[in-house]
Structure 1
Amino acid sequence: MATTLAIILQSALLFTPVNQTIQQQVIQKLDTGMLHPRTREWAYPVNRVEVPDDSPCLLWPGIKGKTVKYKVLLATDSLFKKDVITGVEQRWAVYPLHQSLKPGRWYWKYAASEKAGGKWNWSPVYDFIVKKQTQNLSVSPPVTTILEKSKAIHPRLWGMNKGADAFYSNNKQNPEAKIFIAASTKLLGQPLPEEKPTRPRDTTGMTALQRKQMVEFMYHGFGEKVATPIRNLCIAYQLSKDERFIKEAIKRAVHVARMNPESLATRDDFNNGNILEGLAWLYDAGYKFLTAEEKAVLRRTISIRGQRIYEGLPNRFELQMCDNHVWQHILRNFSIAAVAVAGDLPEANEWLTYVYEVWSARFPVLGTTDGGWHEGNGYFRVHYETLIYLPELFGNISGVDYFKQSWMQNLPYYMLYSYPPNSTSTAVGDMHENLKDMVKMQAVFADALSMKMNNSYLNWYVSEIKKSKPEYFKGNDDFQLFRLLNFNPKAVKQIALPSALPKGREFKDIGLAAMHSDLTHAGKELASYLMANPFGAAGHGHAAQNAFTINYKGKKIFGGTGFYSNFSDAHNLLDYRSSRGYNTILADSLGQRIGEDGYGWMPRFMTGEHIQYALGDASNAYGEVTTDFWLGRFKEIGIKADKRSGYGNSGVKLYRRHMLQLDSNYVVLYDELEADKPVKWTTQFHSPFMMNGKNTVNALSQQFDVKTGFASVNAAVYAHTPLQMVVHDKYNYPAKNWKGKTDDEGNIIEFKDQWHAGISTVNPVRVNRFLTIIQLKNKTVEVIKMVNEVNGLYNLQVGVWNIMAELNAANPASLVVKSAIDNVAFSYGAMPVKIQDKVYEHNIKGSSMLIEIKNKTLNRQEVVDSLPDVVNFDAGL
């Protein structure tokens, strides 16, 4: 214990000088190993940081052990004698304060004891500042209040102990309620479920590991299959008061309760969680109809299945950046069960205490305030049910409207900018390839969210999907209960077109810059995205720092490549998840590390009428794979994370990518690259459409076309050193749909070959710069004209745009872009720009400056590096 605390203290001291100096730098560098470690490694809040609100949550690293207990002490003096707040002993390493603190400096510390009656070892004293007029939107009540409320009579889920009659009467004329009741009638008298695979597969010829994974795959969804009818019958009873439904639910629940918790069908964590929730639903909704014996059977099974989940949570789950399976489904299943049986099962009080405290301290787990989700939109969908139902559940018992939290309020903008209607999504993270068009889960989630949000842009988002995909809003889906709980036939939703919004938006917490030419008509526009993720390549996220996605006319032109065949098979690790599968940089053919330490961040962003701009920094993304989790995944399939696999230490020490979208037809990239040794630099491009390399006279440039069938696309790359290009249509490791994976509509996915271009320096160089100009046109692309080139300073003309880029690494980096017809210019570095006979100088050398004049109104923006909140408030700094 003492050793661990000493290491934590030493780390905090090492970070401190960085924090004192980086704020003064125009170009800032982060030297910390990771910003979001897989498991918390430092305390928060520390070092007199100004906390965002007056009711912060205290977090700290855990001490290994099943019997560990913690406690905290808080005061307004370092001797802990004034305004003292003393926490009770607890098994988990989070402490939400559940009260507003007065402004000023606060001190805190925590202690850990490894066993009952053992010695308490105290941490160093930490401190933070509560600013004046910094107030929480709504301070959540203490857990004692929650436990008292949990003693409410059954049914208590979703506030039914007080609101059952209102739920019944409010939905009496609701057409969806009538359809739901009619559908539930078909369940009456049906055979009880058998324990057999939900999707049988032939495992002949598979390896032992593949066979194990396939068995899990075959029974995936069994818990949902047997539990959902129980839940729906309970809801049908509450909607109709027809006792046939609750009696059928009892028959099914008692049958399922007697299934063996260790069987192949129910032992999986997802299946166990779904069954737990289904039994809890019936226990609560059908309480007055149950016999004493039936109650005992249900309580016993709920206890076994619930405790099985709970014993794997304290002193582990709350410490992890994100245990995906728990946050996706199991936390929701477990929380619903905890509320349903609290007071009836003594252990359930501790369950409820734990989930409420962790929810209060950690939500949203893969974002902070900007509304984004670091793993990308493919796997974001898997969290949607939890993101809808747990705010509702905990809101019922706490009185807090969690939908008014900053992250929730910004979520509609993340959805709109990263996955607009009538278009495709950003192409990053697991399952991104399934989002070629708007999918049903996205549509119905947005619809459900709009019932709690007074957001006219979200209402427009939903209305647009209803126009193009009306079939998505018919039949069953995962948010029916939520709509029934919040049904309001008198509600009038205001709609606003996104044309009133800025064309681009930055989501700094997750490192995403989104740039659009016309969000209102996303199926016809140009959209470009740059990713530089502070969370790193963790969980379902990928090694895609400074990678870009470009969508045109609603289709992906450039983006991540490959298919989600499995979480970590050979195709996944050698291609799909790796940097080799993204539009980013390789050094000596080596990509970025997988893991939390392979991170990026977004130092700068500006959006204007004609020019949008983002700067990503992936300087910390390269190196050996070091995390035990990912090394274990490589070992599991008999592959090493070495240079033959595209991993290893390439020596990259600087990688800053500037990205500009110019009106609706051009994207410009300017890369600043440096390694600690000469390397061959490769800039990559991936597309589902055929690529065709073009002959170039100048050895310092390469270009290729993309054959889409609906647009003309060309990419040209320039450098101050000779370049070579390879274009092909093969993966580093073949993509095979060996699991028979299906899309959102249940169709087997065909894993097709895609196209790839790599443009590399012929010779190794230690420092390099690439300039890339991408044209996307309805008809013919422009010929890029070389105005002049003086020792690496390129002056190019493409259409109405003049681009001047310093590609000689011996000179200071510089990029200037100017329109010949609009009063618009951009400058990075120190070079001034002239518009209407007026010269605009940089106020700060090395800044990025945007000048736009419209109707004699000047829009001038100038930015230098700014840090993400995780650095400003956390990250041990």
Structure 2
Amino acid sequence: MRRLWTLLLCLTAIQSLAQHQPAIITLTAEKLHARVREWPYPANGITVPTNAPALLWPATNGKTAVLPMESGSAVPEDPNIGNVLYKVMLSTDRDFKKEVISSAAQRWAVYPLHQALKPGRWFWKYAYSLKGVVKWSWSETYDFVVSARYANAKVSPPVSTVLKRNEGAHPLLWNMNSRGEDFYRNNLQNPEAKIFIAFAEKLMLAPLPEEKPQRIIDTTGKTALEKKIIVERMYHGFGDAVGTPVRNLCIAYQLTKDTRFILDAKRRALNLANMDPNGLATGDDFTGGAVLEALGWFYDAGYQLLTPQEKDLFVKVITLRAKRVYDHLPNRFELHVSDNHVWQITLRNLAIATVAVINDVPEAKEWLSYMYEVWSARFPVLGTTDGGWHEGNGYFRVNFKSVIYLSQMFGDFTGVNYFNLPWMQNLPYYLLYTHPNGAASTAIGDMWENIPYIVNGEAWFAEALSFKLNNPYLNAYVNRIKSDQPELFKGTDDYLLFRLLNYTPDRKSPEKSFADLPKTRLFKDVGVAAMHEDLSHADNSLSSYLMSSPFGSSGHGHASQNAFTINYKGKVVFGGSGYYSNFSDKHNLLYYRNSKAYCTILADSLSQKIGEEGYGWIPRALSGQHIQYALGDAGNAYGDIRSEFWLNRFKQLNLQPGKDNGYGDAGVTCYRRHMLQLEGGYIVIYDELEAKKPVKWTSQFHTPYSKIEGQEIENASRQDFLVKNEDVIAAATIFACNPIRMTIHDQFYEPALNWNKVTDDKGNIKDFKNQWHAGITSLPQQRFRFLTIIQIKDGKAGLLKTIADKDNNCHLKIGNWEILAQLDGTKPAALQVIGQEAKALFSYGKLPIRFQGKTYTRKTSGSSVLLEVSNGKLNSQEATDELPDVAKYDKIKKTP
């Protein structure tokens, strides 16, 4: 009886807590992810989701905080970042007298704990000192809690163990000094290995490369900045073109033990070693990094074939090129939300070269220590646990090789299976939900337009992951791609070595049907809600996406908070527009990267902020059989641009990020977008908008591959248009409670010019064609609502009926669905969708819920409710706002 009473008391306490938990959470932080770290982690007494957290803190140059400066940026590097040392101290008591853990002095501002902490409260602080100065300046004390639930979690080993495992004889890379014989024997009958060896035979016949451009582009009439970018473009890919053959010949040698391959690799590597490190061909971070990696590959695999003089040459050149990368990393790179070039490519280049010379170059042990510590503390940099990637699929693929090979490399050194990380385990779902086989992707972020369908890099990456994850849904995804696009898997590719390292002749690849998965999946840490009519046949059905990123528009991300994308029969119907010609030319800054290019809201014709400060998030999502739902919040996305990095980009182009160019502060305080996908080909979007003063609200619609035609409507508070292409006719209707006007055109706010001769994935120079756009604009209103109904069908759109409503709600009927919405901004927001035939209902707000002849009372005021009857049983779901991980754990204040 005592146990029963205890249980009842606990349940009562939980219910009471739930009742007092607010349904709607308002975030007030200026940013959730700082461009460089501005506050310590973990702090504020949070319970960390691990038993060995990484300690992170703001860096200093000895006088001021370290400012943002990416590799390749025009922002000059702080010359004093290399003059600082740090150390940290942890303890179970605030006075640091019990169970104290102290670090040695180090050059970098991260400290991953490679030991399991006992459960309970821990205190920590960090200090810095200038090199050569004994005095240490200590921070205040921070605290966090380790939960007993993580007590048995495996912990990565310390740096000393990693260095110890690299003390053996060559070849060191991929543990070939111990794995090499097994690698050779295991692949003797591997059909793919045999094909590759035949490929390597032909490779030896190719002439030695010359230091010359990959392509010629006319620079006549271009500005100095444009000329610099064009020259880089002319040599882009040179490093891979000359370095990849060296790697491939080394792999062929390890597969066959045939010295012809390694001797030809030597011939080519010596040619690379004699190339001008300051020349145009191999002087930048990408081309130089690829050459560095190739030199490391041969030095390791062909070490026994080098004369003392040749060893000296390779050590000298590798050290020179490696230091060019490494010397700009400590006390800078680890602080950035993501220094893209390094994470994408040069970290992998440096790691491979470093392991190759680890026992011959004294500094290399520091290089490897740094990379391992940053990897342990920061990977995955643009995701957390949900499997998503902030920048969208277009630029995610640039990170694929590093994700695969650095996970393999550090796993070899540590015994830790990095493919077991929660992010890795969820990654298959991100791939198949955001880029289904035979269908378009989410249409956001830089270069999204280059991947209207799955391209070779994505296919190879998914296949490589399947070797480690063995997820039955991932296996099905890969096998479908192979079946539909077998041409992608012919010949060799960059993931061959990974497949050879993990080859098992009798490997089983169990599959499961996508029909077993929910129709909707939320990736809340990167802000993507994916809704599918039929995930198994996304190439012939309706898919929609709502995006609102906690990362803001950092890196290759865009100011696209609360933007939606709608795909039908595998093609983008509504989505982003414009073209990626360069990271920050005029078209990029004034259109492609900002909110004008997305199906989201403008306030007084002004874009959301570019930078980490212009963030959004997705508080809710519900997955049903007939109704899919997501709620995005972009209330923090608007205002003046504050990021010094982006302000510098505008300055380089002599542009002002003011109202004349579509930027500025319209005083937006609330933008909550509810998006529903209904069975039968219907999308419902309900926008709650509020500002400090009356503003003109514009709801935007972009159709990058279709034409928009306006429809004549007598009702001033309603606008209709059609979207037409060869596969579909989509009908859109937008309602408001006040007059709204519509503008349709096929021009960009800033013209798109392919001055940089950007090519598609097949190498063809892209034609930057105009695209169609519609904008629906209100009169100035402080509080405003839009209701949008979109029908996407093969044939003629269904009739949208307006029903008289005694409570002055907008009351509609379309197909088998009934929709009620409160459009008066002075009244509480409300939306209800009822499907009598589908036996499904969605409700938000205070409208009474009558479902299947019964009255339903929501548990929490302000929640979103989804009710459906399946097999005679009621399925009830209720959602309130839930924070992304970064707002739960890594925050400045204790409460948002």
Provide the TM-score with structure 1 as the length reference.
0.96
Deviation readout 1:119-147 (Å, 9 max, x if unpaired): 21001111100011214643110000111
- Aligned match of 1:438: 454
1:58 aligns with 2:75: no
1:734 aligned to which of 737, 748, 751: 751
Q: Given that residues 720 and 792 in structure 1 are in contact (C-alpha distance below 8 angstroms), is that contact kept between their aligned partners in structure 2?
A: no
1:677 aligns with 2:677: no
Show the 5 A alignment for 1:700-711: 700-711=717-728
1:629 aligns with 2:626: no
1:479 aligns with 2:495: yes
Could you tell me how far apart the structure 2 residues matched to 1:532 and 1:704 are?
Answer: 26
Deviation readout 1:12-58 (Å, 9 max, x if unpaired): xxxxxxxx999932211111100001000000000110000101110
- Aligned match of 1:4: none
Show the 5 A alignment for 1:184-333: 184-188=200-204, 190-333=206-349
Structure 1 residue 834: Cα displacement: 1.6
Q: Given that residues 107 and 128 in structure 1 are in contact (C-alpha distance below 8 angstroms), is that contact kept between their aligned partners in structure 2?
A: yes
- Aligned match of 2:37: 40
| Helix, strand or coil at the partner of 2:276 | coil
Q: Residues 797, 128 of structure 1: CA spacing in aligned structure 2 closer, same or farther, 3 A cutoff?
A: same
Structure 1 residue 790: Cα displacement: 5.2
Deviation readout 1:390-442 (Å, 9 max, x if unpaired): 00011001110000000000000000100000101001000011121121111
Could you tell me how far apart the structure 1 residues matched to 2:691 and 2:714 are?
Answer: 29
Structure 1 residue 756: Cα displacement: 0.1
Structure 1 residue 115: Cα displacement: 2.5
Could you tell me how far apart the structure 2 residues matched to 1:186 and 1:384 are?
Answer: 27
1:721 aligns with 2:718: no
Deviation readout 1:666-691 (Å, 9 max, x if unpaired): 11000000011111100000002000
Backbone CA RMSD of aligned residues: 1.3
Unmatched segments (≥5 aa) in structure 2: 1-16, 62-80
Could you tell me how far apart the structure 2 residues matched to 1:165 and 1:22 are?
Answer: 63
Deviation readout 1:694-715 (Å, 9 max, x if unpaired): 0111111101000122122011
Could you tell me how far apart the structure 2 residues matched to 1:450 and 1:302 are?
Answer: 34
Could you tell me how far apart the structure 2 residues matched to 1:807 and 1:300 are?
Answer: 70
Q: Residues 708, 699 of structure 1: CA spacing in aligned structure 2 closer, same or farther, 3 A cutoff?
A: same
Q: Given that residues 725 and 758 in structure 1 are in contact (C-alpha distance below 8 angstroms), is that contact kept between their aligned partners in structure 2?
A: yes
Could you tell me how far apart the structure 2 residues matched to 1:467 and 1:185 are?
Answer: 29
Unmatched segments (≥5 aa) in structure 1: 1-19
Structure 1 residue 793: Cα displacement: 1.3
- Aligned match of 2:766: 749
| Aligned residue-pair number | 857
Could you tell me how far apart the structure 2 residues matched to 1:177 and 1:530 are?
Answer: 43
Deviation readout 1:652-675 (Å, 9 max, x if unpaired): 111000000101401100000001
Deviation readout 1:311-357 (Å, 9 max, x if unpaired): 00000000000000000000111111111211211000000000000
Could you tell me how far apart the structure 2 residues matched to 1:851 and 1:567 are?
Answer: 45
Could you tell me how far apart the structure 1 residues matched to 2:46 and 2:108 are?
Answer: 24
- Aligned match of 2:72: none
1:106 aligns with 2:103: no
1:147 aligned to which of 163, 168, 174: 163
Deviation readout 1:794-840 (Å, 9 max, x if unpaired): 11101110000000111111000000212110000122322221111
Amino acid at match of 1:839: T
Structure 1 residue 191: Cα displacement: 2.9
Runs of 4+ displaced beyond 3 Å:
20-24, 789-792
Q: Given that residues 421 and 461 in structure 1 are in contact (C-alpha distance below 8 angstroms), is that contact kept between their aligned partners in structure 2?
A: yes
| Helix, strand or coil at the partner of 1:412 | helix
Q: Given that residues 189 and 248 in structure 1 are in contact (C-alpha distance below 8 angstroms), is that contact kept between their aligned partners in structure 2?
A: no
- Aligned match of 2:422: 406
Could you tell me how far apart the structure 1 residues matched to 2:261 and 2:820 are?
Answer: 72
Could you tell me how far apart the structure 1 residues matched to 2:892 and 2:273 are?
Answer: 46
Q: Given that residues 42 and 143 in structure 2 are in contact (C-alpha distance below 8 angstroms), is that contact kept between their aligned partners in structure 1?
A: yes
Could you tell me how far apart the structure 1 residues matched to 2:709 and 2:808 are?
Answer: 27
Deviation readout 1:184-235 (Å, 9 max, x if unpaired): 1223254322111112211112111110100011111111111111111111
Could you tell me how far apart the structure 2 residues matched to 1:610 and 1:207 are?
Answer: 55
Greater displacement, 197-206 / 462-471: 197-206
Could you tell me how far apart the structure 2 residues matched to 1:634 and 1:21 are?
Answer: 47
Greater displacement, 521-530 / 786-795: 786-795
Could you tell me how far apart the structure 1 residues matched to 2:155 and 2:82 are?
Answer: 31
- Aligned match of 1:557: 573
1:501 aligns with 2:501: no
Amino acid at match of 1:786: T
Could you tell me how far apart the structure 1 residues matched to 2:257 and 2:358 are?
Answer: 25
Could you tell me how far apart the structure 2 residues matched to 1:535 and 1:728 are?
Answer: 31
Q: Given that residues 691 and 706 in structure 1 are in contact (C-alpha distance below 8 angstroms), is that contact kept between their aligned partners in structure 2?
A: yes
Q: Given that residues 24 and 862 in structure 2 are in contact (C-alpha distance below 8 angstroms), is that contact kept between their aligned partners in structure 1?
A: yes
- Aligned match of 2:715: 698
Could you tell me how far apart the structure 2 residues matched to 1:790 and 1:633 are?
Answer: 54
Show the 5 A alignment for 1:48-127: 48-64=45-61, 65-127=81-143
Q: Given that residues 76 and 84 in structure 1 are in contact (C-alpha distance below 8 angstroms), is that contact kept between their aligned partners in structure 2?
A: yes
Q: Residues 149, 675 of structure 1: CA spacing in aligned structure 2 closer, same or farther, 3 A cutoff?
A: same
| Helix, strand or coil at the partner of 2:675 | strand
Amino acid at match of 1:479: Y
Q: Given that residues 53 and 136 in structure 1 are in contact (C-alpha distance below 8 angstroms), is that contact kept between their aligned partners in structure 2?
A: no
- Aligned match of 2:632: 616
Q: Residues 137, 454 of structure 1: CA spacing in aligned structure 2 closer, same or farther, 3 A cutoff?
A: farther
| Helix, strand or coil at the partner of 2:424 | helix
Structure 1 residue 477: Cα displacement: 1.5
Q: Residues 392, 784 of structure 1: CA spacing in aligned structure 2 closer, same or farther, 3 A cutoff?
A: same
- Aligned match of 2:527: 511
Structure 1 residue 497: Cα displacement: 0.8
Deviation readout 1:223-271 (Å, 9 max, x if unpaired): 1111111111111110111101111111211221122211111110011
- Aligned match of 1:12: none
Q: Residues 446, 655 of structure 1: CA spacing in aligned structure 2 closer, same or farther, 3 A cutoff?
A: same
Q: Given that residues 19 and 859 in structure 2 are in contact (C-alpha distance below 8 angstroms), is that contact kept between their aligned partners in structure 1?
A: no
Structure 1 residue 866: Cα displacement: 1.1
Provide the TM-score with structure 2 as the length reference.
0.94
| Helix, strand or coil at the partner of 2:888 | helix
